[in-house]
Structure 1
């Protein structure tokens, strides 16, 4: 099985990709709207087919990427039947299974943080994904969105603590950078409900947390009640319109040699190799401007802001870094030539000053 744990640093939200290695069918748990392009790029690079995005509940601290990923990949949206959300393709109840190839995730309803919270247990019970119910040495809060501390205590003890002690638990969030725990660890060491702590102890603990509401709650909850379709940042939806580009999991927009050759007259080509390479046997793309990578930040003012920029190097590595430098300098339309001059020459594209 393919497994990836991803994070959105703004909301400290974990997103999980699981795929069956044989069929390449995949599911994605708790995607974040601002990270949808990243997730779609990973799915493309791994060569898997996304069947479902599954939200463990209606989030209050970020907007789900479910709707945008459906648009980008054709995946279906799944969420708890008790969530109250509209626009999903599948509504999940306790005992349902989300299949991907020969594998599946079993749904366990775990209300308490919200009325519609679910946890997802892998078929062999080696892993479980607990959303905002059980966290690492903590729990989700219970003071809004139909939260109930006593209901959460019972959910954890009946649905999660009944799993094998060795089951690895992957939470929806962690604000300290912790990534995974286990049923046995939380039964012993969770300061809110582990050991001999009872339901009254837990309820008293939760009553006195006195936490501020999440900063994005006014935007996130209405958007998530529509599975992310009401998200309000159009920059996450629109694609660059000056060329056909590909977004990579590394966070780089790339342009193919063919697409660049079609756009030569409309773009600025910045060659970030060293001067001896620029004059060397690989040659250079016509009208390319030489600015070595080490000089780029200081010489960015020599490049026009109002024309798209394509960065070039030998194989595409240094020029990928160049796109990052230029974006930080305020250039809105920047792409890296995929494969660099090696691929450009291999495809027989036009060059200047090259050896046969």
Structure 2
């Protein structure tokens, strides 16, 4: 089954549901709190059992529903080990494999740059890149221990090393696009294709982007899986 792609118009965030073929096990990637009921209804409608909730990083533009989804479904939260996300059942590292269903495997790639802990996930010819690689772009590198040098290496050494026909599913899109391929991004990505490291670092340093509106609320919340902290 192809990934189920869902969208949050407020933060332009994609959420993905992966379903094990021939089984009812499911995994959700980057769920958004305001759409928790929508996502639960998708699972119920399709007769799915949520096994894992995956985060690509500690988001700065929305609050995750990971904690509540795990409470409601019995799923396990699996998060990047370098993002300071407490309370998760699994702290992931580069090269880890998440198994679900009848022999399904999700391969974990540590792809820092947007944040120091950012992860991408590879499953059945698909890669879910979070904010590391976007369609014709990439995530910003100017906060949360971001690094243009690290992002350049993550994309070129890990993501662009995947087969060209790998479907690339980003964490966000702001231009009405949904999916790309690694081969297309390698040849055409406006920020990264055929660009030297020095040129890329200079480009990213000159973006001068505004601070995300929700960063002061979202990051602490997401480091607690979106759940209220005791005493808060």
TM range (shorter): over 0.9
Give the equivalent residue in structure 1 for 2:54: 54
Give the equivalent residue in structure 2 for 1:145: 144
Contact 1:59 1:224 in 2 (8 A): yes
Q: Structure 1: which 4+ aligned runs deviate by more than 3 Å?
A: none
Q: Structure 1 length normalisation: TM-score?
A: 0.63
Residue 230 of structure 1, CA deviation: 2.5
Contact 1:2 1:20 in 2 (8 A): no
Q: Distance in 1 between matches of 2:28 and 2:55?
A: 9
1:234-259 Cα offsets, whole Å, 9 max, x none, are xxxxxxxxxxxxxxxxxxxxxxxxxx
Give the equivalent residue in structure 1 for 2:198: 200
Q: Structure 2 length normalisation: TM-score?
A: 0.96
Q: Distance in 2 between matches of 1:7 and 1:222?
A: 23
Task: Report 1:298-317 matches (<5 A).
Answer: none
Residue 22 of structure 1, CA deviation: 1.5
1:254-296 Cα offsets, whole Å, 9 max, x none, are xxxxxxxxxxxxxxxxxxxxxxxxxxxxxxxxxxxxxxxxxxx
- Structure 2, unmatched stretches of 5+, are none
Give the equivalent residue in structure 1 for 2:81: 81
Q: Distance in 1 between matches of 2:6 and 2:185?
A: 22
1:302-353 Cα offsets, whole Å, 9 max, x none, are xxxxxxxxxxxxxxxxxxxxxxxxxxxxxxxxxxxxxxxxxxxxxxxxxxxx
Which one scores higher on RCO, CA 8 angstroms, separation ≥ 6?
2
Contact 1:222 1:230 in 2 (8 A): no
Residue 2 of structure 1, CA deviation: 5.1
Q: Distance in 1 between matches of 2:100 and 2:42?
A: 17
State the superposition RMSD in angstroms. 1.1
- Structure 1, unmatched stretches of 5+, are 232-356
Residue 172 of structure 1, CA deviation: 0.2
Which secondary structure state, in structure 1, belongs to the residue aligned with residue 129 of structure 2?
Answer: strand
Give the equivalent residue in structure 2 for 1:294: none
Residue 32 of structure 1, CA deviation: 0.3
